[in-house]
Structure 1
Amino acid sequence: MYDFAPDADLPAAERYRQLADAADALTSGESDSVANMANLAALIWEFVPGLNWAGFYRMVEGELVLGPFVGRPACIRIPLGQGVCGTAAQTGETQLVEDVHAFPGHIACDAASESEVVVPVLRDGQVIAVIDLDAPDKGHFGTDDAAGLEKLARRIADRI
């Protein structure tokens, strides 16, 4: 049984370090990418407070396709360059969005989402997936979240 219990009072950098360590321990030796993404989505949900959605979109034949997640049902396919996820996948750059309603072309999968951070997962310089986190309040995510998720993405890229 796995029992990863993050301390909610930790500084963000330490919380994300512990998240990456837990992700490493949980996925070590497992080659099934779907199983790993499912466990990673659950870990992110446990470690990052205040979320209403956490999960993955996978790059499949030139578009993003919904992967394992925690939260309400979501959009299944997202074209590159559309919405926050599609922009992150197309540019290969993290998207930190304080107000999703102000983001050009935002795709509203869950009307409760107000802010979002999307981090591309790269393998051999190519985007293979994105990590997508949504929160029900504006300005929920900051640069510590983006940096922590970028480190996580680098650490798990060969396992998803």
Structure 2
Amino acid sequence: MAEELFITESAPKAEKYKSLIPQIEALVTGESDLVANLANIASALKFGMGYFWVGFYLVKNDELILGPFQGPIACTRIAKGRGVCGTTWAEGKTLIVPNVDEFPGHIACSSDSKSEIVLPAFKNSEVALILDVDSDQLNDFDEVDRAYLEDLMRIIEKLL
């Protein structure tokens, strides 16, 4: 297992992802514990990409329950269809929110969060967990983030 990430901080976003995603895949290869893998993935994304908050919510008993994360304290439980995470769960698709204050029903776990991308991972054709990535900048996520993070979600699905 690698003990550090190799990312050029000044590189463009796509180049950072091209470097980071294979390192994450190597990090989780051979480790069977889901919580350990999600914890390392959250850390790698937070520090490799400089995100404000990165975390996972796991579907349990018809709720999203907070899993491993990096960043300020977060909401513990989210209902299906509520906020960005609950909507991603209900719709089963990635959501990019340029300004969280304009998203109907947004759950403000931190007032410092300004934009967000939320992605589902599937097991047996059902959403099993959600990756939530927040920025403290408006309009910080785009199609580059979507493409690379959706690739990451396919890696995570193999762990489920």
For the superposition of Structure 1 and Structure 2, which TM-score range results when normalised by the shorter chain?
over 0.9
Give the unaligned 5+ runs of structure 2. Answer: none
Q: Which residue of 2 aligns with 1:98?
A: 98
Structure 1 position 18, deviation (Å) = 2.1
Q: Give the 3-state SS of the residue equivalent to 2:157 in structure 1.
A: helix
Contact persistence 2:85–2:130 (CA under 8 A) = yes
Contact persistence 1:20–1:155 (CA under 8 A) = no
Structure with bigger RCO (C-alpha 8 Å, 6+ apart): 1
Residue by residue, what CA displacement relative to the aligned partner does 1:91-120 show, whole Å, maximum 9, x if unpaired?
110010000000000000001001000011
TM-score of the pair, normalised by structure 1: 0.94
Q: Which residue of 2 aligns with 1:6?
A: 7
Residue by residue, what CA displacement relative to the aligned partner does 1:113-134 show, whole Å, maximum 9, x if unpaired?
0100001111232111111111
Take 1:19 and 1:82, find their aligned partners in 2: how far apart are those partners?
31
- Count of equivalent residues: 159
Moved over 4 A (4+): none
Contact persistence 2:6–2:19 (CA under 8 A) = no
Q: Which residue of 2 aligns with 1:80?
A: 80
| More displaced 10-residue stretch of structure 1: 121-130 or 6-15 | 6-15
Q: Give the 3-state SS of the residue equivalent to 1:89 in structure 2.
A: helix
The equivalences for 1:1-160 within 5 A come to 2-49=3-50, 51-160=51-160
Structure 1 position 24, deviation (Å) = 1.0
TM-score of the pair, normalised by structure 2: 0.94
Residue 93 of structure 2 aligns with an amino acid whose one-letter code is: E
Residue 59 of structure 2 aligns with an amino acid whose one-letter code is: M
Residue by residue, what CA displacement relative to the aligned partner does 1:38-89 show, whole Å, maximum 9, x if unpaired?
000000012213x221111111121100000000110000001000000111
The CA RMSD measured in Å over matched residues stands at: 1.2
Contact persistence 2:6–2:20 (CA under 8 A) = no
